[in-house]
């Protein structure tokens, strides 16, 4: 039964009171009765002095249970580790699930990393070292080695005995993986199947003998799709020889999905949306590189406009519609970029091929460009009593949107093909590029119809 928010607040208030009074028994009673998420949020709200008391009041195992939660959200866990006694911190890391401990240790400098590994037991240090050498964002980097495995020739009774003995240390017990004597993956059996079948049946008679697995070198995004498509709680990780190396659980995949979403949004926005700094100078230093790059690209647009000064001076009415065309084309390009990046993130869409994605967006650009162009042609024709001007703006809008859609889809697809993150083709970049092409299209079309424009001052 869920505790009411008022009860939680009361427990937190009591925990804080006991912590301030250095009442170990009272603090432990209130604090350990909270959910680990609530423990983590409380810990993050404390001053360093209060956190130091907590390290004295809690065992490394109790602190590890809480750290499992905060390591996923906190970018500066090394600060907390350095507050602790080094041996206490090493013991805590040893008590964490291996994949989570690796996530924490990867944030540290190499000297600190080596120091903590040296203070751990040999077995814990070796398990962590095995995962540390895998490349970031691969299945190997996010897998855990805490799982339950049995052999096919065992009975359900003996498999249950193994499960009970390893359950406390395993990250999940809902799937039990079946291996041969050489530790190659040959099957999987669920907890439900263990419970519902006769104790004397063999595991080989009950298990699924075509287990879905991922390779240790697979991209974490592909692993996320596998778990999503098969609705798994966990998926086994194997090497090229089908040896079972570990498992990846759904909670780790949720983290991956969050990371990928943040990365994609950061690319589309041209800024790191995950930046935690409240210092405006630090925040500005992270945003300025993109802004300066876009500034120079924007200067290209300004230079292009300056080349048509004579045209604008003879028909100043043209200047009125520059922002209308560039803004609409930029918006269309950003929409196309977002769709292309999303499609590239989906294997099913990716299988349609390079050409079909481009064609789809170009056809969309033709439809939206035609509709928008006709609309603005009618509006300007009536508003300015000049349908030639309306036609020029409308036809420029039509071609500008098609080109923007083409760029918004082609650039991320090209980047994906050459091995870069397609989300890096950010929205501001596509928008600024669309400004450049839109101005070029607009003034070249306008030049052909120059004699029809009414001179306006």
Per-residue pLDDT of the chain (457 residues; tens, 9 = 90+): 456 576 888 888 999 999 999 999 999 999 999 998 899 889 988 999 999 999 999 999 999 988 888 865 555 788 899 899 999 999 999 999 888 888 888 888 888 999 999 999 998 999 898 888 888 889 998 998 899 999 999 999 999 999 999 998 898 899 999 999 999 999 999 999 999 999 999 999 999 888 999 999 999 888 998 998 899 999 999 999 999 999 999 988 887 877 776 666 555 555 555 555 556 776 677 667 767 877 777 788 888 888 888 887 878 888 889 989 998 998 888 888 878 877 776 655 454 566 787 888 889 999 999 999 999 999 999 998 888 889 999 999 999 999 999 988 888 877 777 766 666 556 677 888 888 899 999 999 988 887 665 444 3
- According to the model, what pLDDT value does residue 39 have? 92
Q: What dihedral do alpha carbons 60, 66, 69, 75 form, nearest 10°? A: -60
The b-or-e profile of 250-274 (16+ CB within 10 A means b, else e) is bebbebbbeebeebbbbbbebbbee
pTM above 0.85, yes or no: no
- According to the model, what pLDDT value does residue 261 have? 67
CA angle, 166 then 169 then 175, to 5°:
65
- According to the model, what pLDDT value does residue 274 have? 54
Query: In the chain, where are the structural domains located?
Result: 5-136, 149-257, 280-452
Place of tokens 């804080």: 16
- According to the model, what pLDDT value does residue 298 have? 78
Q: How far is CA 331 from CA 394, 404, 420, in A?
A: 16, 9, 24
The alpha carbon of residue 388 and the mean position of all alpha carbons in its chain are separated, in whole angstroms, by 49
Tokens of 293: 């790059």
Q: Tell me the fold of 149-257.
A: CBS-domain (3.10.580)
- According to the model, what pLDDT value does residue 378 have? 95
Cα–Cα distance, 332 to 369 (Å, whole number): 9
The alpha carbon of residue 334 and the mean position of all alpha carbons in its chain are separated, in whole angstroms, by 20
CATH number assigned to the domain covering 5-136? 1.25.60.10
Cα–Cα distance, 445 to 324 (Å, whole number): 16
CATH number assigned to the domain covering 280-452? 1.10.357.20
Number of Cβ within 10 Å of residue 354's Cβ equals 13
- Give one word for 270, left, alpha or beta, with left for phi > 0 and alpha for psi -120 to 50: left
Q: How far is CA 339 from CA 184, 422, 427, in A?
A: 41, 11, 12
- According to the model, what pLDDT value does residue 423 have? 61
Beta carbons of 350 and 343 less than 8 angstroms apart: yes
The alpha carbon of residue 295 and the mean position of all alpha carbons in its chain are separated, in whole angstroms, by 28
């Amino acid at each position: 039964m869920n505790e009411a928010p008022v009860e939680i607040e009361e427990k937190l208030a009591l925990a804080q009171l006991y912590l301030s009074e250095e009442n170990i028994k009272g603090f432990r009673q209130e604090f350990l009765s909270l959910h680990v998420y609530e423990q983590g949020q409380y810990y993050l709200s404390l001053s360093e002095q209060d956190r130091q008391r907590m390290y004295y009041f809690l065992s490394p195992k109790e602190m590890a249970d809480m750290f499992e939660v905060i390591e996923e959200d906190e970018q500066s866990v090394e600060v907390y580790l350095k507050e602790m006694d080094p041996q206490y911190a090493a013991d805590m890391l040893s008590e964490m699930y291996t994949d989570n401990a690796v996530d924490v240790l990867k944030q540290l400098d190499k000297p600190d990393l080596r120091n903590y590994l040296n203070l751990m037991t040999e077995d814990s240090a070796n398990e962590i070292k095995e995962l540390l050498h895998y490349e970031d964002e691969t299945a190997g980097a996010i897998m855990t080695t805490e799982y339950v495995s049995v052999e096919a020739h065992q009975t359900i009774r003996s498999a249950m005995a193994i499960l009970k003995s390893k359950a406390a240390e395993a990250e999940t017990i809902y799937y039990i993986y079946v291996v041969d004597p050489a530790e190659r993956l040959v099957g999987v059996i669920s907890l439900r199947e263990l419970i519902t079948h006769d104790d004397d049946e063999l595991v080989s008679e009950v298990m699924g003998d075509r287990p879905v697995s991922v390779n240790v070198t697979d991209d974490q995004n592909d692993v996320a799709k596998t778990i999503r498509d098969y609705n798994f709680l966990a998926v086994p990780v194997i090497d090229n020889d089908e040896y079972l190396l570990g498992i990846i659980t759904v909670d780790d995949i949720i983290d991956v999905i969050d990371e990928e979403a943040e990365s994609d949004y950061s690319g589309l926005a041209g800024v790191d949306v995950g930046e935690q700094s409240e210092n405006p100078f630090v925040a500005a230093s992270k945003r300025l590189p993109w802004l300066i790059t876009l500034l120079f690209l924007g200067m290209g647009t300004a230079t292009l406009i300056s080349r048509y000064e004579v045209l604008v001076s003879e028909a100043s009415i043209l200047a009125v519609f520059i922002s209308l065309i560039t803004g609409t084309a930029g918006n269309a390009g950003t929409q196309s970029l977002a769709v292309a990046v999303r499609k590239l993130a989906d294997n099913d869409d990716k299988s349609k091929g390079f050409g079909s994605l481009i064609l789809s967006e170009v056809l969309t650009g033709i439809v939206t460009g035609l509709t928008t162009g006709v609309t603005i042609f009618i509006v300007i024709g009536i508003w300015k009593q000049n349908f030639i001007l309306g036609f020029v703006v409308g036809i420029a809008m039509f071609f500008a949107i098609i080109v923007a859609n083409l760029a918004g889809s082609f650039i991320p697809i090209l980047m994906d093909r050459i091995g870069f993150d397609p989300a890096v083709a950010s929205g501001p970049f596509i928008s600024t590029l669309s400004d450049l092409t839109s101005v070029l299209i607009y003034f070249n079309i306008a030049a052909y119809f120059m004699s029809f424009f009414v001179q306006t001052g």
